[in-house]
Amino acid sequence: MPVLALPAVRVRIKSLLLHPAAKPVVFGLSLLPFCWLLYAAITNNLGANPAEALIRSTGDWTLRFLCLVLTVTPLRVITDTPALVRFRRMLGLFVYFYVVIHLLSYSWFDMGFDVPDITKDIIKRPFILVGFSAFVLLTPLALTSFNRAIKALGAKRWQILHRLVYGVAGLAILHFFWMRAGKNNFAEVFVYAAILGTLLGWRSVRFMSKKRHHPA
């Protein structure tokens, strides 16, 4: 592509990202996995073990959306596309949406909504405890993903609170690793670990660079 064409491409991308239909389109695309799983459950297309398929699929989509959320800032900075920020909050709420569906699927299909049994299972099995801990950390992030919450907390405290997402990422990978350890299947774990490790590493390098250029 000629160098002179790059500014035109950027303008076109910015125009698309700022288009009034952009957010509804991203919202609709983000709902597609849920709609497919719902359709597959209703039509008996989840395989021999539908409960396990539903639990694992919703967990996978939680991890995928977490990767997407953490990709927004590096992509925005590297491509100089500030309009990408418009979608970060929505994608973050979809992380929470899918983790809630994941937790409900486990609670319903695995445990029959038996709260005492669920409590015992969380305490007894480390990988479930780690996954539940990630859910607990995600909850305040979802509850404060609104302008009124930012104003109430103040921008600095809000930013500090939302750094919990890094802890969530670590716990999510550990949960995924332990879950796959039972079947000795780590290929996907390494892929997600590499993606999240790269994204968090980029943030660390950027943070250290800022500290060097703007010492306290």
Write out pLDDT tens, residues 118-168: 999 999 999 999 999 999 999 999 999 999 999 999 999 999 999 999 999
Mean pLDDT for 6-18 is 83
Tally of domains in the chain: 1
Q: Where are the alpha helices (DSSP H) in the chain?
A: 5-18, 22-42, 50-79, 88-105, 115-124, 126-143, 147-153, 155-161, 164-181, 187-213
Q: Which domain holds residue 147?
A: 5-213
User: What residue type is assigned to position 130 of the chain?
Assistant: V
Distance in angstroms (rounded) separating the CA atoms of residues 119 and 33: 29
Mind listing the pLDDT tens digit for each residue in 189-210? 999 999 999 999 998 898 888 7
Tokens at residue 120, please?
């015992």
List C-alpha distances in Å: 176 to 79, 152, 192: 31, 35, 9
User: The tokens 């919703």 sit on which residue?
Assistant: 58
Total residue count of the chain as it appears in this document: 216
Mind listing the pLDDT tens digit for each residue in 54-73? 999 999 999 999 999 999 99
Tokens at residue 171, please?
């716990």
Tokens at residue 78, please?
């590297």
Nearest to 127 by CA among 80, 190, 171: 171
pTM across the whole model: 0.92
Tell me what pLDDT residue 10 has.
79
Are the CB atoms for 23 and 90 separated by under 8 Å?
yes
Tell me what pLDDT residue 180 has.
86
Mean pLDDT for 92-113 is 96
